[in-house]
Structure 1
Amino acid sequence: MVLRRSRKLCLYIDTRGGSTTKDRKVIKVSLKKEGKVVGSLSADNEYGSQALLPLILKLFRTYNPGLSSQIQSGIGSWDELEGIEVETGPGSFTGLRVGVSVANALGFALGIPVNGKKVETKLQYN
């Protein structure tokens, strides 16, 4: 019999591309457990969307230090994830498209739901 950990984590992705300066974009990812943020990271660079997948992996490694070796060995430990929330706007079209595409790909691969959120929902990182 295989015991599976309870799924209680939700990944939040924000690639709207809020600018810190003229040419730099900010992307944010967070992990929520039972409605509370347990980890959050952001990246600020010229091509924010290119940093999304490495940032998600870094967030999971921070939350679960053994994850990197599990991923490399093909075991994976994403089974705690029960859903993904992704910002759908308003914001940079390319940034939003990348965020939604990554969220949908992860949701499909993990067999979990993906939900779009608008800025008006006032999701918080801290």
Structure 2
Amino acid sequence: MKNILYIDTADNQKTKVILEINGKKIHKEESLHHASQNLLPLIAQILKENNLALRNLSEIKVNTGSGSFTGLRVGISVANTLGSQLKIPINGKPPGQLVLPTY
């Protein structure tokens, strides 16, 4: 089963999280000022609603730019941390290789 988590925090007014389960995409979006602060609860919510845990993820894809400097750093930091701890690829890079922002 392929479960891909997509993270987009490039817009500082909106955070998007998409969970792809075997090709089916489920969207979650938070629209607030400094919305990237709600990234982790948003990830937890979308996983819980689909009866999945972090360990069930097979890959993470994260928007690396262009966009909000702080928002991108939040999304990329979360993706790098989760990918490293779960030992799964981020943006197609092997586990352990960090994804960098493109401002």
TM-score of the two chains, using structure 2 as the length reference: 0.82
Residue 66 of structure 2 corresponds to: 90
**Higher strand share goes to which structure?**
1
Q: Give the aligned length.
A: 92
- Rounded to whole Å, the distance in 2 between the matches of 1:33 and 1:60 is 11
Instruction: Report 1:1-126 matches (<5 A).
Output: 7-17=1-11, 25-37=13-25, 39-64=26-51, 77-115=53-91
How much has 1:78 moved relative to structure 2?
A: 2.5
Equivalent position SS for 2:65:
coil
Moved runs in structure 1, 4+ residues, more than 4 A? Answer: none
- Rounded to whole Å, the distance in 1 between the matches of 2:77 and 2:60 is 12
Equivalent position SS for 2:58:
strand
How much has 1:85 moved relative to structure 2?
A: 0.1
How much has 1:79 moved relative to structure 2?
A: 2.8
Equivalent position SS for 1:113:
coil
- Rounded to whole Å, the distance in 2 between the matches of 1:96 and 1:78 is 21
Q: Deviations over 1:24-53 (max 9, x none)?
A: x0000011123331x210001111111000
Q: Deviations over 1:37-72 (max 9, x none)?
A: 1x21000111111100000001101111xx6xxxxx
Whose Rg is larger? 1
TM-score of the two chains, using structure 1 as the length reference: 0.68
Equivalent position SS for 1:88:
coil
Residue 73 of structure 1 corresponds to: none
- Rounded to whole Å, the distance in 2 between the matches of 1:33 and 1:102 is 20
RMSD: 1.5
Q: Percent of aligned positions with the same letter in both sequences?
A: 48
Instruction: Show structure 1 runs of 5+ residues with no match.
Output: 1-6, 19-24, 68-76, 117-126
